[in-house]
Amino acid sequence: MSKIIKRALISVSDKTGIVEFGKFLADRNIEILSTGGSASTLKESGISVVEVSEHTGFPEIMDGRIKTLQPTIHGGLLAVRGNLEHEAAMKEYNIAAIDLLCVNLYPFEETIATGSEFSECIENIDIGGPALIRAAAKNHAFVTVVVDPNDYIKVMDEMKSGAGTTSDKFRKQLAAIAFARTSSYDSAISSWFANQLGDSLPKHITLGGLRKQRLRYGENPHQEAAFYTNGESRPGVATAKQLQGKELSFNNLNDTDAAFELVAEFNNTACAIIKHANPCGVAHGANLADAYKKALACDPESAFGGIVAVNKTLDPEIAELIADLFAEVVIAPEIEEAAKKILAQKKSLRVLATGGMPDPKAKNMTVRSLSGGYLLQNRDNHVLENMRVVTKRQPTDREVSDLKFAFTVCKHVKSNAIIYARNGATVGIGAGQMSRVNSSRIAAWKAEDAAKIAGEKKSLAIKSVVASDAFFPFADGLLAAAEAGASAIIQPGGSVRDDEVISAADDAGLAMIMTDMRHFKH
């Protein structure tokens, strides 16, 4: 049902585009009701406005908490046109129909993102706005509701083509946007409030977000996908500025996030190369170029078409090296201008600058969908603290340093995960196998292949250390590492056969550390 719009209510926190929209309505002799700052902005631009308090005959009270929560307003939005009972009530109580509602909400998400005081956050919880939006959206058969300044132009085009009306289909589309906005808003409030109470897993949970971009497809071309942000200010792919290259794909975004979160674990200069959300190589270095060379040497074949992440300002030296490799994405906290020019020669390379590094210890939640529900858990933000030597042989200082490094990398590798490392660099990575011993064998095999590519006669696993994301259920995985040339092991422990595994380590002359902390990543 099409209906000419005669009266509009405008009450916005974000004033973007509101003057242009208001002039458009006024030029069509549409009566504009408004409140507070919105009314002032429109009046200052010469637009005729009727204050809501004048329209309702009831003043704004309680510091503006009560403005639009009035039967005169909500009746005008909710009345079913053509319903005799509704129209009789409108006549009896002097309720005028409101045909268009333009409302956006108090900036609650922005307020909590700045770390504002509890009381300020509470005051930025909008009550009247969501009530208005929900009323108008429910009655979309007769009311056009717009909550996003980006949609003003669409409303104006629709009214132009419809001779002052909007179509049923268009109003339904806007109503869907409106309900999604109030849902996301309420989600932000409830999540924040639960966090204030220290309740990370409340009884009811909602997931809110803003669509940042539609993606060409998901993991595969037959899957639809989009990227949503949740308002979190954590540096990473969601907040990064893309400096060049094609649009990021679903897989690009997933892999880039994995890469950047990995390098964020290290304070010293580090580089990680990621493929299919698993590291091809990770390394410390005297500088980024050094770290990159060491990371690439771990598995140069798999690194082709991978993601490169660094945790320091990207300089021209590493930029030259990256330009020689076919990479999908490069992500760094900052990028020097000279480095940007070098990378710009690779037109298809996606280059992201985040402006900072995320805190690996920060608390947050991760979510996975299941058939009929979700799995939520705290982000794995634990860092290595407890280490106890359980073997007769004590690890050397060099081994301890490499063991810490390897166990940190292990946290970001799909289980079952086995990491071989030497001198602050991975030399073999076994990921995602159903058997831990097979992961160990694959890591050793990769270390042999990497040595051949580098022109070395002996496997890179010789004199390396090994990290496991979970305990060795049997001694076979440990013995496979020893056979490959490893000299020390780090693992969580906790198996009923720990004594058997420790005895096997002693027999093999290995040093072994247990952490009492598992890092499964399924």
Report the catalytic residues.
Answer: 138, 276
* Cβ contacts of 137 within 8 Å, gap of 6 or more: 145, 174, 175, 178, 179
* Coil/strand/helix, residue 382: coil
Please count the CA atoms within 13 angstroms of the CA of 128 that sit on its side-chain side. 26
Rounded Cα–Cα distance for residues 224 and 219 (Å): 9
Rounded Cα–Cα distance for residues 296 and 305 (Å): 12
Rounded Cα–Cα distance for residues 409 and 426 (Å): 8
By DSSP bridging, strand 306-310 and strand 327-332 are: parallel
Q: Following DSSP, what letter does each residue of 418-444 receive, concatenated?
A: EEEESSSBEEEEE-S-SSHHHHHHHHH
Determine whether 412 is exposed, middle or buried from the number of CB atoms within 10 Å of its CB (0-12, 13-18, 19+). Answer: buried
- Phi and psi torsions of 182, nearest 5°: -65, -35
Q: Give one word for 383, left, alpha or beta, with left for phi > 0 and alpha for psi -120 to 50.
A: beta
Query: Is the dihedral angle over the CA atoms 251, 252, 257, 262 positive or is it negative?
Result: positive
Structure-token pair, residue 223: 């899957």
- Phi and psi torsions of 146, nearest 5°: -130, 125
What CA dihedral angle connects 474, 477, 481 and 484, to 10 degrees?
Answer: 120
Q: Tell me the chain's radius of gyration from C-alpha atoms.
A: 30
Rounded Cα–Cα distance for residues 217 and 223 (Å): 6
Rounded Cα–Cα distance for residues 65 and 63 (Å): 6
Tokens 């480095």 locate to: 339
Rounded Cα–Cα distance for residues 57 and 450 (Å): 80
Rounded Cα–Cα distance for residues 256 and 489 (Å): 29
Rounded Cα–Cα distance for residues 84 and 12 (Å): 33
Residue 11's identity, in one-letter code, is S
